[in-house]
Amino acid sequence: MTLVRCEVDEVIYHNQEQAQYWYRVVTGAARKCSLMMDGRRQIVDFLLPDDVFGFGADDDLHHFSTEVVSTGTTIARYPRHAAEQLAESDPQVSRWIRQQAFRSISRLQARTLILGHTSALARVSAFLLEWMDRCNQPNGTTICLPMSRYDIADYLVMAVETVSRVLTLLRTQHIIVFRSTRRLSIRDRRALELAMVGTEDLLIAN
């Protein structure tokens, strides 16, 4: 294993690059993304400490790019073939890798459900609830959003202006409180859940 200290927006690996390593976030955060044919960026996953990434199908190429999101990000890098050999000989390592793969699949499934919501309000609300659960924090606790609003917009497949408008709406309705630009608290989880399913009529401005 090699520990690598990374800068914000630094590319860990590119799409179609040879998959020589597996990776784990030690501190900070990263984003897995793809550049569309029309030049738009689409973020498919945010990676937090202990999330493992870079493994995939049987071929030797990465199918997404992965970039650093926040300052102070440290990445652990594992030689792929050595890790695969260890997994074949050690059941505990094999089990751990399988668990990490299942976690990655679960995150992708959660994003699919978020994108299934038709309104911007529902998508942003679902994203905030998912993020709170990933941070494993109780209601009212301040959580950090290490990504920018542009990142959130590319994750939710909407304009950044729309993301900002919805966040402002949730703030004015006292459902969330911003402690700083990227730190907020969810004051009313029930209202956010109602907004996610489209039954919160007081947020009709969406």
pLDDT digits (tens, 9 = 90+) for 148-177: 999 999 999 999 999 999 999 999 999 999
Is there a single domain that holds both residue 97 and residue 150?
no
Is there a single domain that holds both residue 95 and residue 189?
no
SS3 122: helix
Is there a single domain that holds both residue 104 and residue 28?
yes
Domain boundary at 89, 114, 139, which? 114
pLDDT band at 136 (very low <50, low <70, confident <90, very high): confident
pLDDT digits (tens, 9 = 90+) for 63-110: 899 999 999 999 999 998 898 888 889 999 889 888 988 888 888 888
Is there a single domain that holds both residue 106 and residue 26?
yes
What's 105's domain CATH number? 2.60.120.10
Q: Supply the pTM of this predicted model.
A: 0.87
Which residues form the domain of 7? 2-114
Classify strands 21-27 and 176-180 as parallel, antiparallel or unpaired.
unpaired
